[in-house]
A and B are shown apart, each in its own frame.
Chain A
């Protein structure tokens, strides 16, 4: 696979629409995560302390706001997209036999879909919005 001689990151693929799309989506989601993931880490560790963010606190504070539910759902999608594409590259480098590679990558995609379903379920269904409505 061609790579950038300075950063050793994947070079933009020439030809092959699918791989070019993967290259762009990795970078697009990376820009989003630079903002979303770094601010999320700062809020959960520097603004608040891990010890205070109990399930009740999440219900009544963070997720009583539609803005933060949307923020967290967008972050979920971006991180699953970015890391699934990234792990696809990593695993394809390690597992080279075609059948084994297909099995391993299928496992990665299934795990990613499960995480997307569970993460979306809790963002959408956790009670707490009525707390905001009552204010």
Chain B
């Protein structure tokens, strides 16, 4: 266990390379979902009712929170993966690695926040009239 924690925090001897720790964790997380997801799509042919039940979970509030986290992991992994690839292909980009790092976070939040709002809409949509009703008397 301590060996594994050490692996996570000083991964490959570096002084805490959080970017790569997150890359690894997001890669493992998305992989776990892919294992589930290939099986649920297989059910579309093998047992359509069972698939529709799983789909109902994906569309539920809890499912939407899970998909938001999945999307965040995928987006982070994709953007950091692109940063890795660009620096692998053109080592001269190493000069700009700080800018690439900030760019990947700008894209992460710039694309991720609107995306999260769309996925979570059924959850927050109902909250607006509820909150308005509390604040403004007479509004429901």
- In angstroms, how far is the closest chain B Cβ from the Cβ of A2? 9
Contact partners of B46 in chain A: CB under 8 A: 122
Within 8 A of A (CB), among B86-139: 87-88, 94, 97, 115, 118-119
Give the contacting residue for B45; candidates A42, A45, A115, A125; CB below 8 A.
Answer: A125
- In angstroms, how far is the closest chain B Cβ from the Cβ of A44? 9
- In angstroms, how far is the closest chain A Cβ from the Cβ of B67? 7
User: How would you classify the secondary structure of chain B's contact residues: helix, strand, loop or mixed?
Assistant: helix
Contact A7 B12 (CB under 8 A): no
Contact B41 A34 (CB under 8 A): no
For the complex, give the distance between the alpha carbons of A34 and B79 in Å. 8
Additional A-B contact list (13), CB under 8 Å, known A55-B55, A79-B34, A87-B31: A3-B14, A4-B87, A7-B97, A9-B84, A27-B85, A45-B118, A46-B115, A50-B63, A50-B67, A51-B56, A76-B38, A94-B4, A122-B41
For the complex, give the distance between the alpha carbons of A80 and B82 in Å. 19
Residue ranges of A at the interface with B (Cβ–Cβ < 8 Å): 1, 3-9, 12, 27, 30-31, 33-34, 37-38, 41-42, 45-46, 49-51, 53-56, 58-59, 76, 79-80, 83, 86-87, 90, 93-94, 111, 115, 118-119, 121-122, 125-126
Within 8 A of A (CB), among B1-60: 4, 7, 11-12, 14, 17, 19-20, 23-24, 27-28, 30-31, 34-35, 38-39, 41-46, 48, 51-52, 55-56, 58-59
Contact A83 B30 (CB under 8 A): yes
For the complex, give the distance between the alpha carbons of A42 and B19 in Å. 24
Contact B31 A1 (CB under 8 A): no
**CB-CB nearest in chain B for A11:** B88
For the complex, give the distance between the alpha carbons of A68 and B111 in Å. 25
Contact partners of B69 in chain A: CB under 8 A: none
For the complex, give the distance between the alpha carbons of A55 and B48 in Å. 6
Q: List 25 A-B contacts (CB under 8 A).
A: A3-B12, A4-B84, A4-B87, A6-B87, A6-B94, A7-B19, A7-B88, A7-B97, A8-B14, A9-B20, A30-B85, A34-B81, A45-B118, A46-B115, A46-B118, A50-B59, A51-B59, A53-B55, A55-B55, A56-B48, A58-B44, A93-B7, A94-B4, A118-B42, A122-B44
